[in-house]
Amino acid sequence: MAQVSLRKIVKEYEGGVQAVKGIDLDIADHEFVVLVGPSGCGKSTTLRMIAGLEEISSGEVSIGGAVVNDIPPRDRDIAMVFQNYALYPHMSVYDNMAFGLMLRKFDKGEIRRRVENAARILDIGELLARKPKALSGGQRQRVAMGRAIVRDPKVFLFDEPLSNLDAKLRVQMRTEIKKVHQAVRTTTVYVTHDQVEAMTLADRVVVMNGGIIEQVGPPQELYHHPATRFVAGFIGSPAMNFLPARLENGAGALRLNLPDGIVLPVPAERTNRYAPHAGKEVLLGLRPEHLTDARGENRPGVSSFQAVPEVVEPMGMETLVHFKMHGAEICARFNPDAPAEPGRGIAMSADLNQMHLIEPASGRVL
């Protein structure tokens, strides 16, 4: 059993600066949880408090049901993979992986068995005699993961392990990490600032901002049902578009009045949800894929309007079209064959069935 529980965890530095402001989180046994957020949001500090590398100002961290606040890192039965690999440069790959087991006085045969097993899982069997300086970045990160696997700990902690790798290797290693987790099923807490990594790896994503948790949920839930403007804007690439609008009631139906005189009718199935907010200023949130070229779009809830593209970015499988509406930068996702050209007006359609309305003051999604 290796659940991880955080109860009202606070990290306060000298001078009263709070990096983590009382967060609660329960991570189930075998679960892969990703803490994601911008720099300074407190995700790494939270991870380091779980590891015991950072003192907890107040609150409780439990691993496997036992409170570990006062237990040193070596006795928490955790393993950690660092951003810069943190391999011991004077030791061979084998010794790097075996070091933790040697300190714990494991039998030599058992150490060899575990190291070879981890090397097989990570496909680094032929590197065991090498020193870290003779390895590529990807190989070093595999060794760092191997060092964690051999320990067979209760919890794996990953602190931005792919940030030092190039884009191609990052994608490759992401798959490797997922494979390893599927093979060993150890409870994992993974920190990243890359929301694509978070979405692709996690059973559940924890979005943090300013030392608090904004939302916790499976990746798809966060993507389709963000709880706050921050989550809506942080998850998804390109980011969600936000437009100021006024929600108005007219002739028994709700509509959104945009500043440029564009009026978008609210789909009938959303009427009950938004009716209490009629007459208020809101933010309309629409993902780029829900703003497309208007050709052939004639479904209920889809409204058309005219816009003039400023920049057109053909990506191969899609084309990103950037334009401005009332000063806001908007991004739309077009089919690659759509006739979009910079400076030439084009009809666009907004799929309001997928829209999000946000209360500007609180940032809460309505």
Partner 1 sequence: MSATVSTPGSVGGGIGRKTGSLHKERRWALVSAYVFLVVFAVLFLAPPVYMFITSFKGSAEVANLQGSPWMIRNPTLENYTAILGDRMFLRFFLNSAIITALVVFITMVVSTLAAFALARMRFWGSQVLATGVFLTYLVPETLLFIPLYQIVGGLGLLNSIWGLVLVYPTLTVPFCTWIMIGYFASIPKELDEAALIDGANWMQMLTRIFIPVAMPGIIAATIFAFTVSWAAFVYPTAFVTTPDAMPLTIGVVSQLVRADTFAWGQIMAGSLLAALPPVVIYALLMDYYIAGLTAGATKG
Under the rule (CB under 8 A), what is the footprint of partner 1? 51-53, 72-74, 78-80, 82-84, 86-90, 99-100, 103-104, 147, 151
Is 249 in contact with 326 (CB distance < 8 Å)? no
Identify which of residues 114 and 147 has a Cβ nearer to partner 1 in the complex: 147
Q: What are the Cα distances from residue 9, in Å, to 12, 81, 151, 187, 348? A: 10, 22, 27, 20, 47
| Residue 157 Cβ vs partner 1, minimum distance, rounded to whole Å | 8
| Residue 188 Cβ vs partner 1, minimum distance, rounded to whole Å | 15
Q: What are the Cα distances from residue 208, in Å, to 3, 29, 213, 340? A: 20, 22, 4, 37
- Residue from 259, 253, 260 nearest 274 by CA: 253
Identify which of residues 164 and 304 has a Cβ nearer to partner 1 in the complex: 164
What angle separates helix 137-150 from helix 93-103, to the nearest 10 degrees?
A: 20
Residue whose structure tokens are 């009718």: 265
Identify which of residues 70 and 126 has a Cβ nearer to partner 1 in the complex: 70
Identify which of residues 90 and 344 has a Cβ nearer to partner 1 in the complex: 90
| Residue 86 Cβ vs partner 1, minimum distance, rounded to whole Å | 4
| Residue 90 Cβ vs partner 1, minimum distance, rounded to whole Å | 4
Backbone angles phi, psi at 29, to 5 degrees: -60, 140
| Residue 88 Cβ vs partner 1, minimum distance, rounded to whole Å | 6
Identify which of residues 80 and 340 has a Cβ nearer to partner 1 in the complex: 80
| Residue 317 Cβ vs partner 1, minimum distance, rounded to whole Å | 39
Identify which of residues 114 and 151 has a Cβ nearer to partner 1 in the complex: 151
